[in-house]
Structure 1
Amino acid sequence: MPNILSIAGTDPTGGAGIQADLKAISAQGAFAMAVVTAVVAQNTQGVRGVRAMDPEFVGEQIDAVFEDVRVDAVKIGMVANAGIAEVIADRLAHHGADRVVLDPVMVAKSGDRLLDEDAVDAVRDLLVPRSSIITPNLPEAAVLLGEEPDWDLSEMRRRAPALLELGPSRVLLKGGHLDGSATSTDLLCGPEGILELPAPRIATTNDHGTGCTLSAAIAALLPQRSAVDAVREGKAYLHDALAASDRLDVGRGHGPLHHFHALWEAAGIDR
């Protein structure tokens, strides 16, 4: 069983952040571990406050894991500020982490900012180049490239190679923010060229933590599959978790995905 480490912020309602990562990793048959970068007071309706961890203590958490446990892949989510980004990059390099999935979390589903302005350069310059896969949505990709996010699918195709030039091995550019289509198309850019990965949109407001869930699932699958297959299977898992999300009744805003829908079905839990 692969051991997967999530480095991210928290969500006390369990739908996003480290809590979502632990669920998504476990659902892929991997053992989930976590390093906390920030404690976030949020729910399905919005973010109330953020308390970033001391960067040195984030480094101590990372060292504690790597010095005791074999780590087969790492998922990085919310890093909060430049100091934390620098420590993560330094400690992952020190421990030789070689499968790293970076979800460049900048803004919550509610629109609340989760990354300091001065941290963008640190994420771009220190974390992106050492990543096996980065998974930006369109607004995040535009920030990384210093551009406006008013892209259509053809512009996504044109911009994806520029993201690859920032240094990651692969880029999964997510098209969920594209308007006016019944299909959401992601682009996987890497040594294989550009692969289009379309999926039908699901009409639900239970979409809190989609980015966290996808990146964590991909990280869990990377030690078990090729990179392309890990992305395809991660997307399929996300689609099914979204499709089953209306079976949950959690919160009054953007509710969570149903991370364990397959387990519930196998156990005969009909809810």
Structure 2
Amino acid sequence: MCFSATDPTGGAGMQADLMTLSALGCHPLGVVTAVTVQDTTGVEEIVPMDDDLVVDQARVLLSDVPVSAFKIGVMGSVENIAAIAEIISDYPHLPVVFDPVLSSGRGDELADEEMVIALQELLLPLTTVLTPNSLEARRLAQFGDDDDEDDESDNRQDPLALDECARLLIAAGCGHVLLTGTHESTLRVSNVLYGHGGVIRRDEWDRLPGSYHGSGCTLASALAAWLAQGLDVGAAVQAAQEYTWRTLVNGFRPGMGQYLPDRFFWTRNSNMDADDGSDD
């Protein structure tokens, strides 16, 4: 079950979740949390759904169809965050993948400070795997850091180290943090999976040219798909990254803005291994 905002471009949000989960053999259930006005260059407007409608969408489905995992994206409001947290807390045995989308690829704000605090307090303790990029990880972790009695963050000018971000996010209640390095100035993209004992796995990928819309949604949805099918977290993270890499290598640019991942790349590419750069 996906809790997501719509994206009329098909690049991210609910549409990306539905395509990714379908491509990986799952039957996705969609709960719309907000409606957006956007194109491939950026978000013009976001209109949150009423929280009662979000609850009704989810409860009706959950009373009818068995669910194997939850995937959470943009929620649109503090009220929706609280409503979704209440819903998923009734299913503690199901994995929860939370992609904390705080802004668009262009930098459009999708979550204010009140929402970020609500995410931290209400959803992180329910999350099996959090999938932030480095910007999102630092923003989420700073709130937890501010509450530490020994904190000196008010005097710190440098950004938090990513290992420390992961530690703070896990301390806030996450089971695992898959921290992606696409926004870091490194030669290759380094994605690191953290657990309560520290680093579990580290994967590196060639940095692709161009800018992609929906790569984070694709990764989180793919991870939810593999967890729903019974893989453990480490194996699911590896499989989700490999799938996401292929969608980006085969990405396309339908408009004047960012490239979009091709979630059904194999229907246009009979040689699925031709563009695999994971061993380069």
What TM-score results when the alignment is normalised by the length of structure 2?
0.87
SS in 2 for 1:15: coil
Q: Please name the residue that 2:170 is paired with.
A: 164
Contact preservation (8 Å) 2:188, 2:206: yes
Q: Does 1:251 align with 2:247?
A: no
Of 189, 193, 203 in structure 2, the residue corresponding to residue 188 of structure 1 is 193
Mapped partners of 2:64, 2:44: distance in 1: 35
**Offset of residue 65 of structure 1:** 1.3
Give the structure 2 partner of residue 175 of structure 1: 181
**Which residue number corresponds to residue 118 of structure 2?**
122
Matches within 5 A, 1:11-22: 11-22=7-18
1:215 to 205, 209, 220: 220
Please tell me whether the aligned partners of residues 157 and 187 of structure 1 are also in contact (alpha carbons under 8 angstroms).
Answer: no
Q: Of 69, 89, 94, which residue of structure 2 is paired with 1:93?
A: 89
CA displacement 1:47-104 (0-9 Å, x = unmatched): 1111100011101111011110100001000011110000000111134462100001
> Which residue identity does 2:169 align to in structure 1?
L
Deviations 1:9-63 (A, max 9, x none): 0100111100011111111111111100000001101111111000111011110
- The reply to whether residue 237 of structure 1 matches residue 233 of structure 2 is no
One-letter amino acid of the counterpart of residue 27, structure 2 = F
* 1:262–1:244 CA distance, 2 compared to 1 (3 A): same
Cα offset, 1:265, TM superposition: 2.5
- How many positions carry a matched residue from both structures? 258
Q: Deviations over 1:236-265 (max 9, x none)?
A: 1111111011xx341100121111002332
SS of aligned partner of 1:184:
strand
Change (3 A) 1:168 1:142: same
Unmatched 5+ stretches in structure 1: none
Q: Which runs of 5+ in 2 are unaligned?
A: 143-152, 273-280
Aligned residue identity for 1:190: G
Deviation at 1:159, TM superposition (A): 2.9
| Correspondence for 2:61 among 65, 71, 75 | 65
Residue 56 (structure 1) aligned to one of 46, 52, 55: 52
Q: What is the CA–CA distance in structure 2 between the aligned matches of 1:79 and 1:60, rounded to whole Å?
A: 15
Could you tell me which residue of structure 1 aligns to residue 20 of structure 2?
24
Partner Cα separation in structure 1 for residue 174 and residue 71 of structure 2: 14
Partner of 2:74: 78
Q: Counterparts of 2:173 and 2:21 in 1: how far apart (Å)?
A: 25
Q: Which amino acid aligns with 2:237?
A: V
For the pair 1:109 / 2:105, whether they are aligned, the reply is yes
Contact 1:66 1:95 in 2 (8 A): no
Structure 1's 149 and 157: CA in aligned 2 closer, same or farther, altered over 3 A?
A: farther
In the aligned structure 2, how far is the partner of 1:263 from the partner of 1:222? 24
The 3 A distance-change label for structure 1 pair 267 and 66 is farther
Q: What amino acid sits opposite 1:232 in the alignment? A: Q
Deviation string 1:166-207 (CA, Å, 9 cap, x unpaired) is: 10110011111111x3210011001563021211111133x1
Residue type at the aligned position of 1:135:
T
Aligned-residue offset at 1:162:
1.7
